[in-house]
Amino acid sequence: MLTAVVADLGKNLAGRALAERWLTGLVYAAVVAVGCVLGQSQWSDFAELATKTNAALSPTRTAGQTLMIGAAVVAAVWASAKAAEVMQAGYGWLTTRSLPAATAIVLPRLKEVLEGPEKRVREFYKLSLVDLWPRLWIVLPDAPKTALWESRQRLDGALRIGGWSLLYLAAGILWWPALAVGVVLCVYANALCRIRAAEYAAMVESVVDVHLHDLSTVLLDPDAPLRPSGAQTMTAIFRKSMGA
């Protein structure tokens, strides 16, 4: 029953995410179009914008011309959404690099936050989270898997805002109000990414704390507590070696 609920939740969230990307892509494409029409010198000349918009939507246009305009709009929205995906990946990559401290004003420094669980699990349990995680995932119940997935989706959403902030900063070359929007989004994404990354890291570490015993009962003596010797045995199993 829970598996079906999780599947339905995934479908709903996926559909919502797709609609969100197309809507935000439409807004961004519109901003770029406004920038192309008005430029920097006429940035607030909305009368000129209305005139050119009415000309583009003139009822005297042929069906073929209207179809071409519609296709161009769809293509622009699709390109905006794809560009946002690329920028999200780039933004996420930058946040996990060892960058100068001054960049923290623009980019959240998530490297230490996201690597924290690996460090603490290694120090406390004497296990590598990289080796442990795929095996632990197999024995996890549906509830923590869902919680982890939702936490990761929230982090990805924050990174997506960061990607959009970079696109709006770039659009500021055409129209300076887009630059202002980019700065606001950048500050917001910076703070939100820190919060979501900390939540996700805490969730990963909590899953290890709560469910590591479940894995150890499968691989080791079910009645024995997890000791350093047990951790060495698990590491040997993970790495298919005779020693730790």
pLDDT tens digits, 18-44: 777 788 888 888 888 888 887 787 777
pLDDT tens digits, 145-172: 999 999 999 999 999 999 999 999 999 9
Instruction: Over range 54-59, report the average pLDDT.
Output: 64
Task: Please write down the HEC assignment for all residues of the chain.
Answer: CHHHHHHHHHHHHHHHHHHHHHHHHHHHHHHHHHHHHHCCCCCCCHHHHHHHHHHHCCCCCCHHHHHHHHHHHHHHHHHHHHHHHHHHHHHHHHHCCCCCHHHHHCCCCCHHHHHHHHHHHHHHHCCCHHHHHHHHHHHCCHHHHHHHHHHHHHHHHHHHHHHHHHHHHHHCCCCHHHHHHHHHHHHHHHHHHHHHHHHHHHHHHHHHHHHHHHHHHHHCCCCCCCCHHHHHHHHHHHHCCCCC
Greater confidence (63 vs 223) lies with: 63
